[in-house]
Chains A and B, each alone.
Chain A
Amino acid sequence: SQTIHQWPATLVQPVGSPLSLECTVEGTSNPNLYWYRQAAGRGLQLLFYSIGIGQISSEVPQNLSASRPQDRQFILSSKKLLLSDSGFYLCAWTPGTDTQYFGPGTRLTVL
């Protein structure tokens, strides 16, 4: 069966520091991968999605970037965090049959 992992689970970072969040999927090949951000009490904002290695589409201009160095690995990065980057970051994947499954999430607090 397929499993999606995210780490770290929680993170507290100072403003201006770099960020790297990792997502990996097991038990499937060539998944579509997604990064979402959810501010406290808010909806899901799509940040990036990828349909293959090295193929990244950005939905919202921001100081974040994404990379997909391997088929089942998706990384979200920032060179300098802002206060507004705080939130719950969710990675998701689809097996190509539309159904989207979410990872456990990373709760990021920028102080």
Chain B
Amino acid sequence: GENVEQHPSTLSVQEGDSAVIKCTYSDSASNYFPWYKQELGKRPQLIIDIRSNVGEKKDQRIAVTLNKTAKHFSLHITETQPEDSAVYFCAASPTGNQFYFGTGTSLTVIP
């Protein structure tokens, strides 16, 4: 089955700096890659996603890039703010029915 690895597990940045979280996947059939943000005690919320026919997608301060050849994708957050502090999960889906999650990155934005 699919295996998703996520790095780093923790990340601290100064407010206003950029943050990058990276994920790799193993199954070349994976074609959908969502990113979720989970605040403490809350449910994961979808923040951005990308499909395999696209190399990059941007939504305001958040962007995701995908390299199918290398089987990795990354989340980029620019101009970080304290409210960006949360745990971020990447995921990969080879079938549309099953989703395989990374182990999460705890992001802290220091004011």
Partner-B contacts on A (CB < 8 A): 32, 34, 42-44, 46, 49, 51, 90, 94, 96, 98-105, 107
Contacts and interface: CB of A to CB of B under 8 A. Distances in A.
A58 B82 CA distance: 39
B104 A43 contact: yes
B29 to A, nearest CB: 13
A101 B96 contact: no
Given A34-B99, A100-B99, 18 more contacts: A43-B89, A43-B102, A43-B104, A44-B101, A46-B98, A49-B98, A90-B43, A94-B96, A94-B97, A96-B96, A98-B32, A98-B34, A98-B49, A99-B46, A99-B49, A102-B44, A102-B45, A104-B43
B32 A90 contact: no
Contacts of B102: 43
A100 B104 CA distance: 17
B65 interface: no
Nearest to B93: A98
B18 interface: no
B103 interface: yes
A90 B43 CA distance: 8
